[in-house]
Amino acid sequence: MWMKTLEKLSRGSSAPSRKIGRLLIASLLVASCLLLWNNFKTSFNQSRLLASFRQSKSSPQPPLPHSCNATTETIERYQLTRPVQFLRREIIASRSSSDLKFSEPLDAPLFDYRSANLTAQLLGEQTLDACSHPLTVPVPTPPAQVDASHIDFGVATTYDRLYESLDQFAHWAGNSNARIFALIEPHGGHHTMMNKAQSLGIHLHIVESDIEYNARYFSLLKLLEENALEETEWSCIIDDDTFFLSMPALVKRLDQYDSSKPLYIGGLSESVAQIAVFGIMGFGGAGVFVSRPLLDQLSEVFAECQAMEGTGDKKISQCIYQHTSTKFIDDQGLRQLDLMDDASGFFEAGREQPLSVHHWKSWYQADMIKLATISKICGDTCLLRQWRFSDDWILTNGYSIVKRSREIAPGTMERTWTYHNGAVLESYFHALGPLEDIDPGKISYRMEDSIIEEDGRVRQFYIHRDDVEGDRVIELVWRSE
């Protein structure tokens, strides 16, 4: 359209009109050239940027740099969807002599908004610069390391799953003098496994057996009895995904029981529907503890009990009920966690730290190894500890950062999980009540990574995924006071 107008001007009857038309054409040609040149530069810079992204993706991942902004390395490592909002805060763990609640209010906001960084804007990111003004949170003085040589653990699994599980065992069993006896299928060549266990401070003993899994599970009782030492007080059967959050806490709890008597201690399922299927018993994933006197009694009827049918943990309960007068003790700290899909309501409830959790990499996802990394800064008592900030954000340490859309009564747990085996809300009252329905308006950042720096600091990455509006990241950098 504008070219036709200029052509009419250039063909005008008067000389001035033709002169004006030629000047306008020349001006527009110059403007067009400048526009093309700017487009070329923009396209060239974008190509270089894309090339750098592809190069960083294909090359080995370097350590993440410290930055107030969303770096290319961070975007690529966590496959973040643009535009990315990024916030980095430093947290100082200050040991307190006060009697701290497990869920503590803080008179400080979590978010401290600053001006957006121009470089980040050019990359298409929305970044909040909040590297100044570190936050200080009170933490209890962690307990001293304990000697757990009086506890033996038994696990029936495969070679590969055992090798993978050593990293999680290291958190609670490493350098504790507790022994772990693993009954695995025939494999051979345990040199690599034993080297890893030794490097992690785990006292591991491996025995091979080709019998059926449930029979192999029950055989752990015989294996533990045959290898019991004079100081052995407790034998515990676990699954390969049983995770104890604190060995000092576990030893302290067991000290409350009289191990000189026949005792059978464990955790029930959180679901009545599961209990209806399996009965009143110690569910194996929570950890099944048998005192030394009861273990000796069971060894005398081992062959008869081995012939029983049923799952391994159910067979243990049947053997105890049928051949002894010992009854089951439900310890509320030992958690089977029969919660499907989303267990965030359990972890974010701000209640007392559980002794054990289970199903964390199958029924729901919660990387307990990464969650436990923060213990390097503030000890085991810091795991899942909760702080409620003045801007209504809630940090559950190692698990999530959330902001609720409505108030929730103290001690009430949000029912986030999916019902299983015909369960209904009331199925969970006995173990987890009081409960309330899921909060659909809750904003949640879930921790996806935790890194220990060479200087001893711990970096946690909490991410809110949003494929439409872009991902949001909160990086917490922890250090001791």
Q: What pLDDT shows up at residue 126?
A: 44
In CATH terms, the superfamily for domain 151-330 is Spore Coat Polysaccharide Biosynthesis Protein SpsA; Chain A (3.90.550.10)
Amino acid found at 318: Q
Dist CA 454 CA 174 (whole Å)? 21
pTM of the model: 0.84
Return the axis-axis angle of helices 292-300 and 312-323, rounded to nearest 10°. Answer: 90
Q: What is the DSSP string of 162-179?
A: HHHHHHHHHHHHTTS--E
Dist CA 475 CA 464 (whole Å)? 12
Place of tokens 């401290």: 112
Q: What is the DSSP string of 39-83?
A: HHHHHHHHHHHHHHHHHHHHSPPPPPPP-SS--HHHHHHTTPPSS
Q: Is the dihedral of CA 395, 398, 239, 300 positive or negative?
A: negative
Give residue-wise pLDDT tens across range 273-301.
Answer: 999 999 999 999 999 999 999 999 999 99
Give residue-wise pLDDT tens across range 51-82.
Answer: 333 333 334 456 787 777 788 999 999 999 99
What percent of the chain shows pLDDT beyond 90? 75
Asked whether residue 204 carries a pLDDT value surpassing 80, the answer given is yes
Q: How far is CA 169 from CA 57, 77, 201, 314, in A?
A: 32, 27, 10, 24
The torsion angles phi and psi of 358, rounded to 5 degrees, stand at -145, 165
**pLDDT class for 410, splitting at 50, 70, 90?**
confident
User: Domain-by-domain residue ranges, the chain?
Assistant: 66-121+128-142+379-480, 151-330
Give the residue with greater pLDDT, 37 vs 356. 356
Give residue-wise pLDDT tens across range 311-353.
Answer: 999 999 999 999 999 999 999 999 999 999 999 999 999 999 9
Give residue-wise pLDDT tens across range 104-162.
Answer: 999 999 886 543 333 343 344 444 444 657 899 999 999 999 999 999 999 999 999 99
Mean pLDDT for the stretch of residues 429-447: 96
